[in-house]
């Protein structure tokens, strides 16, 4: 549960005792091969999962086989808290790399919310952040150019990976294929490839053996119009007096 602890700690200053509480909520681990579904659209589940290791993708496949990637899921991401309201899943989640998930005791989560703990508020924040990412996805695909979309996604994924300690200051492992990026951004594989080559040729990024390095962050931000508002990284508002505010 360490990736989840790191992620939640970015929002709220959690204690070592909070870390022990999170660890105690873990029931069992499951491993998935690349391409294997973790949950499928239409299935019923009462389980909450945390990605412990690896990258996954949240997606919907249309009747004709076309796929829309909704977002990428990184270590520390939790899904799906919606099981407390509706046990039928409205999307699918599949492993991109080899993925290890932890099944979380859902009753323990409900107890945290009943107690009004810092962990509960931080878990609530994860749903707010996810909604922000999905809203930004709508804007990105609906109004940004192909070049802007690709640059924006790179910056977003790097920031998210950085939060849980899976990225350096300007580099990260990017294990997703250009086909998945295309399915995420509503572009063709050829178009994504062309944009990535263009960004690399201009000296904004560098790709080497699955590692992406941001060479000119300022230019990439200017190119994409990227900001971090949708990630809600400013910590809890002061009115949540029961929470310790992260520094």
- pLDDT in the model for residue 244: 45
DSSP string, 191-211: HHHHHHHHHHHTTSEEEETTE
**Rounded CA gap, 82 and 52, in Å?**
20
DSSP string, 26-71: EEEEEEE-TT-EEE-TT-B---EEEEEES-EEEEEE-TTS-EEEEE
Tokens of 164: 């849980």
**Rounded CA gap, 157 and 18, in Å?**
27
Give the closest residue to 213 by CA, choosing from 245, 247, 172, 178: 172
**Rounded CA gap, 92 and 96, in Å?**
13
**Rounded CA gap, 3 and 51, in Å?**
8
Domain positions in the chain: 2-135, 144-230
- pLDDT in the model for residue 237: 63
- pLDDT in the model for residue 113: 81
**Rounded CA gap, 146 and 187, in Å?**
7
- pLDDT in the model for residue 241: 46
Residue 59 near residue 67 (C-beta atoms within 8 A): yes
Task: Read off φ and ψ for residue 142, nearest 5 degrees.
Answer: -90, -25
Low-confidence ranges of the chain (pLDDT < 50): 241-247
Q: What is the pLDDT of residues 49-58, one digit of tens each?
A: 999 999 999 9
- pLDDT in the model for residue 117: 81
Asked: is 144-230 a CATH 1.10.10.10 domain? The reply is yes
Q: What pTM did the predictor assign?
A: 0.91
Residues 6+ apart with CB under 8 A from 43: 88, 89
| Structural fold of domain 2-135 | Jelly Rolls (2.60.120)
Give the closest residue to 161 by CA, choosing from 54, 16, 11: 54
């Amino acid at each position: 549960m360490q990736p989840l602890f790191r992620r939640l700690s970015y929002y709220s200053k959690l204690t070592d005792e909070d870390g022990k509480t999170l660890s105690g909520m873990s029931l069992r681990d499951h491993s998935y091969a690349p391409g294997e579904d973790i949950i499928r659209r239409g299935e019923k589940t009462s389980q909450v999962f945390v990605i412990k290791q690896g990258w996954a993708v949240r997606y919907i496949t249309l009747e004709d086989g076309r796929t829309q990637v909704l977002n990428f899921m990184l270590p520390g991401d939790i899904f799906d808290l919606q099981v407390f309201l509706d046990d039928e899943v409205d999307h699918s989640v599949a492993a991109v790399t080899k993925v290890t998930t932890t099944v979380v005791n859902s009753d323990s989560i409900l107890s945290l919310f009943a107690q009004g703990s810092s962990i509960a508020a931080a878990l609530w924040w994860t749903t707010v952040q996810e909604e922000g990412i999905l809203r930004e996805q709508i804007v990105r695909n609906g109004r940004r150019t192909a070049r802007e979309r690709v640059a924006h996604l790179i910056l977003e994924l790097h920031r998210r990976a950085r939060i849980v300690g899976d990225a350096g200051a300007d580099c990260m492992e990017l294990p997703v294929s250009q086909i998945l990026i295309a399915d995420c951004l509503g572009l063709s594989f050829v178009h994504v490839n062309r944009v990535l080559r263009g960004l690399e040729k201009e000296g904004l990024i560098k790709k080497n053996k699955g590692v992406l390095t941001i060479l000119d962050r300022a230019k990439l931000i200017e190119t994409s119009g990227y900001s971090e508002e949708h990630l809600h990284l400013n910590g809890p508002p002061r009115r949540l007096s029961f929470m310790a505010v992260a520094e």
